[in-house]
A and B are shown apart, each in its own frame.
Chain A
């Protein structure tokens, strides 16, 4: 029995038992459904083994929505606990676990895959390619991310969740102060997902640099592709730091090394530095693709070209470099000398300049345009003022002396939600609506989508603006309770109401999808938004090979110019198309990674060693595998194109 006690959760509560039952029932229902409808083979051949960037993108999207639900439930529970003073809804340990998982899930398992979903789906189409450079590696990236996310998510029912915050500062995250396995989950699950992300970075950098359609010079690339390229470069430089930090943290917890310990020359400040050397660029890994998405949506619905293309590119490149020189602003209060703080204070404020340029460029794109208020455009319009508020509070936080007062308070919490929600979440929700017809061949209902937008925006303002005030009044972040005499009560109640509105907005979005599947017209044509870039030059939904004929690009807005200026995109005749084969390898190897990670979390060494061997066996098998892909014949292309209506329409 002793072996099994390790899997018990340290602080059980009725909520957790209920979720255990719910998870069990859901799994049974899925297994039953797949068996009943005889979908196991379809699932395996169509999805689990796929290397198609579009399907991988859709899987990322589904995973991101699931995680948005998970992280959102955490948020609602947190704000419910804080809604009234001296609330007894959650105890301190439970609250600590919830805000820790909320942060990790929202950043790493919601925002990241949502961005990855759009990068995967859109970038190859935007550059006129048939797939990414390394399709199978792409599948490995997804499955590693997915298994990492699942490993992290089972923590709250098996063994207990991490409870040291999403930044997991040592020594609090060490064995002494966090004795249960929660932080092991943190270290290992993020590690597995992080390896996937690193490979995505390599994959997309290669894809964008090497696989663009003929004629698409760097300065003719659509802005989202530019953003993806810059993001990939940041990933390649930033994620190895996280990998190393997590290995050190894992060693500290599992093998009693002293990297971040309080004794024997260990240094807790080292973790904080390594974490934020990765953590700050990570913020830009999220926000730059979001900027790219807005730069696609705003020109389309303003019926105008993007204003200041060159300065948009330059500012992104500038941000990407500068994002590595600001990490210390996450701990101005760690006791370094005033001149160190001054340097990082200035570098941080300097980042506001390129960001400001982008804001004005979007405004000038709308200027003299012809603005249509569609759902994607509403998200982009809402983004501008709200993100500006988030940005200027960022400048306020960058003033190091004042930061001594903002640090660790609700003011800070308000600030970073104020950039991440209008920045990243608005971008991905808007972009998902924008690209929905491209993915599934029908449009999402506009009226319901607008309701969701307004609920989200008003909910956001109610939820986060009061935090600026309570922060300045001394409400520290991460406290699970406060007394009535502090006077934080009414403001926190407003926040809770805002949170509820945001939760309603989530359900409205889900309902929009359901409603649109049932009722939306299935034939929307290839270009329902009257868009400007190449991804709209192919069919809805996109055929397996993306483009029957590789497009020839001769301008920045290739598709727009083809539509209205008579540029010819598709020259020549059909030729047979070389495509990669599906493979079960990535999925199987990632499953073994999951087992390996699980074994490490609970220090089950035999299983861990078996898992490690399994991973190496998978890699060896791949090395000796001969797979030259397959060809789609001209007849087959003709048949498909005839069904869709053909190219060169």
Chain B
């Protein structure tokens, strides 16, 4: 009778934890990529739970049955070398599981690395997301605007994020839209996302990048295309243009609030892609320019340390 209650208590606690999981950010997707990932996660949790339960069950059975105190005094354990049937089962079953998971893994990875199925054929909105210590710069070349530390996106349209960094490696992560990807200096990485429904979300840099890392977050809001267009119009009418001076000021280490500009910094400080990439070893003028930009940044950070501490307080 007692055992039944214990079992019931365990089952109900597992149940409550699992139902609580539904509200966890990663398992509460708002876009197709995050949905794919959540599906993979649920599937693997389910199969893995079975494995853990099987191992625990065997362990408990063995411990109950073969403990010293339960056995007759003259019981002497046998010498067992091994058994081919048993060994092929403990090799075979894991192989089947791994083959299955490999297929799931390859398919899902290719899925999240491409424009989401539902939105194929649509023209994606390209957004350049770059980091400097410790803020996010979002450039919308299509709309000719730029924001700092907040991201507005239209729903039901594929999004293509072009990620790079003006400093340490960072990682662009909006858990409810999809998994993260690194932003690095010298090259641009691409992250395909999309939002199915409107709403506010948390986005952050997930990769440790120094003193101001914990606060290196940004606000994400998904809205209908109409609202998005209205917002772009409003920005164009009210915001000031971004200038090289203003942008270099922003690159200094520290925290700033949410800012909005017209134009993008890509005009005067192009992203490290194509011929501007760091590993492009040609000697074209644009390449030299982008390096000059980096060096200027180097000088800035040296005397920027104090101001960063200042900002931090």
A interface residues, Cβ below 8 angstroms from B: 92-93, 96, 163-165, 169, 171-172, 176-179, 262-265, 267-269, 272, 302-305, 307-311, 331, 333-335, 337-338, 341-342, 345-346, 349-350, 352-353, 356-357, 359-361, 363-364, 366-373, 381, 384-385, 388-389, 392-393, 395-396, 398-405, 407-409, 469, 472-474, 476-482
Contact = CB atoms under 8 A, between A and B. Distances in A.
| In the A-B complex, the 3 residue pairs with the closest CB atoms | A404-B179, A335-B189, A392-B48
A1 B45 CA distance: 61
A367 B66 contact: yes
Contact of B90 (A267, A331, A357, A392): A357
B54 to A, nearest CB: 9
A404 B181 contact: yes
Contacts of A361: 90
Contacts of B108: 399-402
Nearest to B27: A472
Contact of B185 (A179, A268, A472): A268
Nearest to B42: A402
A171 B184 CA distance: 9
Nearest to A171: B168
Given A333-B179, A393-B48, A404-B37, A172 B210 contact: yes
- Among A165, A264, A388, chain B packs the most CB atoms within 10 A around the CB of A388
B41 A474 contact: no
Contacts of B286: none
Contact of B179 (A265, A304, A405): A405
B182 A381 contact: no
Contacts of A370: 66, 68, 71, 75-77
Interface residues of B, number: 95
Contacts of A409: 206
B194 to A, nearest CB: 15
A274 to B, nearest CB: 15
B109 A472 contact: no
A310 B278 CA distance: 51
Contacts of B199: none
Contact of B208 (A305, A372, A473, A478): A478
B26 A405 contact: yes
A400 B104 CA distance: 10
B91 A357 contact: yes
A334 to B, nearest CB: 5
Contact of A384 (B55, B180, B204, B209): B55
Contacts of B98: 346, 349-350, 352-353, 395
Contacts of A366: 59, 62-63, 66
A408 B66 contact: no
Contacts of B114: 338
Nearest to B201: A474
- Among B40, B111, B281, chain A packs the most CB atoms within 10 A around the CB of B40
B67 A373 contact: yes
B225 interface: no
Contacts of A262: 167, 185-186, 278, 294
B175 interface: yes
Contacts of A400: 105, 108-109
A468 to B, nearest CB: 10
B274 interface: no
Contacts of A335: 163, 181-182, 184, 187, 189-190
A381 B179 contact: no
A310 B206 CA distance: 44
Interface in B101-156: 101-102, 104-106, 108-114, 133
Given A177-B167, A370-B77, A352 B94 contact: yes
Nearest to B36: A401
Nearest to B61: A367
Given A177-B167, A335-B181, A353-B91, A405 B109 contact: no
B60 to A, nearest CB: 9
Contacts of B281: 265
Contacts of A93: 211
B171 interface: yes
A177 B301 contact: yes
B10 interface: no
B237 interface: no
Contacts of A360: 90
25 contacts: A92-B211, A179-B305, A263-B278, A264-B291, A310-B82, A311-B82, A334-B184, A335-B163, A335-B184, A349-B98, A370-B68, A371-B66, A381-B59, A385-B55, A385-B59, A388-B52, A396-B44, A396-B48, A401-B36, A401-B37, A401-B109, A405-B41, A407-B179, A407-B180, A481-B214
B219 to A, nearest CB: 12
Contact of A402 (B41, B94, B182, B190): B41
